[in-house]
Amino acid sequence: MKISNFLETVTNQIQSKEAKDYVKLELSQHIKKSKQSWVQRGYSEIEAEEKAVKEMGSPLSLGKSLNKLHRPKIDWILVSLLSVTWLLSFLPILAVNLEQYLESSNFNISTMLQNKVITLIIGFILAIGIMFIDYRKLKRLGYLFYAAGAGLILVLSLFSNQVRNGELMISLGTFEVQVWMAIPLLLMAWASLFSSPSFKLWQGATLFVFSIFLFLYIPNLSMLFIYILLVGVLFLQSGFSRKEKYLVGGIVAVLAVGMITLFIAAYKNGSIAPYQISRLLGFMNPEKYAFDSGYLYVTLENVLRNAGMFGAENIKYIPEAHTILVLGNLIQTYGYAIGMVIFVFLSAFLARFWLISRSVKDPFGKLLIMGGVTLFATQFLYSVGMTFGLLPITSMPLPFMSYGLMPTVLNAFVVGVVLSVYRRKHFSKIKKDFQVS
């Protein structure tokens, strides 16, 4: 049997189109190497080809075996977690349907529920759409993704037409372009670049410094914090040597000490803006500044103290209760029982991400998942720490639970990337199935 006939018979048994192409390529390379070996032993081209094909065994049996192996796989555990969490994400909106909130704010519950449904539909389409994209085809587009992410930040800094809480953005009717939209592009970029053996440390340092420079024009400390952690984790997971990682770690430590020294000096010289000092003091000593910058910390502390297992009797008004302080309001309204349920489900995402990453052999795929873990964990853990007064309050959402486009779409992107890698993680093991029978 000729190689072409053998490959056609094998691939006819495989249902997945992308698996057909991959299997055909790998089998062809394997058979050609075997054929060359037989030629070197003195056999003719035709005889060597027949022996190489015969070594592979029955094409029907091999094809059926590979079809089972490469049948499209979906991580139903992750999909189930996503579905249940999205159902729970309606609770924060229902929690603001209280007399205190309706008197203190302009909440329109019907509109919020409608927007939430639309956001979840967008998130679902994004997650499933990314799952069906072969992430491996994006591996060589690192510089393109970097240019797109950096370009988006640059456009925001130059052409913004709206400012919210000091952050620049572009308003296009009901749609807003914000800096967080650059994070997925930069995740793809750094995962691609760090997985390339030819990528040098000086190149990474140059691109990182330039991107930080751009971020400083968009005063969103939350996104800057997430981005720095993202690049740091991917760098530590990359293939750079320990010597290079220690070198970068030492430089970062020196810079951190220098920044702290400059901050202390600026504080003593009165160079720091009064509102910045006020915010810091409000976090460090909320009781002393209970009627100023410490108000939110004191309010949250009282709310959590009075909340029982199934909710507090007297519901207090919490600013941003459906966004950045959503966890505190959920505990106040429904009790610590719901708070623990949400914590368990969000923790389950991280556990599942981690387990999948351990079974992935492809460096690019592994870095994509680790980047996703960083994005998700930073939001989740910071939001929890912020709620319980362990970290300063900032515009850090709780994944999927906080109201708005970013908490749903950004994390739907993360889930979609993990599902895409999971769907194709077995391809790296394909060569083991091409054993000579």
Query: Which range, 63-67, 191-195, 403-407, 424-428, is most confident?
Result: 191-195
Asked if residue 66 lies in contact with residue 10, where contact means CB atoms within 8 angstroms, the answer is yes
- Mean pLDDT, all residues of the chain: 86
Among the listed ranges 38-52, 235-249, 256-270, 326-340, which one has the minimum average pLDDT value? 256-270
Q: 243-299, pLDDT tens digit by residue?
A: 999 999 999 899 888 888 877 776 667 656 666 677 777 888 888 887 788 888 988
pLDDT score recorded for residue 97: 55
**CB half-sphere exposure, 205, CA atoms < 13 A:** 11
User: What integer pLDDT is reported at residue 427 of this predicted model?
Assistant: 64
Whether 106 shows a pLDDT value over 70: the answer reads no
Instruction: Please tell me the distance from the alpha carbon of residue 27 to that of residue 46, in angstroms, as a whole number.
Output: 18
Give the per-residue pLDDT at 433.
Answer: 43
Residue with tokens 């009797």: 313
- Whether 15 has a pLDDT exceeding 60, the answer reads yes
Residues 6+ apart with CB under 8 A from 436: 34, 55, 56, 57
Which residues fall within 8 angstroms of residue 221, CB to CB, at 6 or more apart? 394
Phi, psi for 45 (deg, rounded to 5): -60, -45
Residues 66-83 as b or e (16 or more Cβ within 10 Å = b): bbebbeeeebeebeebbe
Higher pLDDT, 167 or 177: 177
For residue 363, give Cα distances in angstroms to 25, 261, 333, 428. Answer: 21, 38, 44, 11
Cα–Cα distance list, 190 to 17, 156, 226, 356, 365 (Å): 29, 21, 14, 20, 12
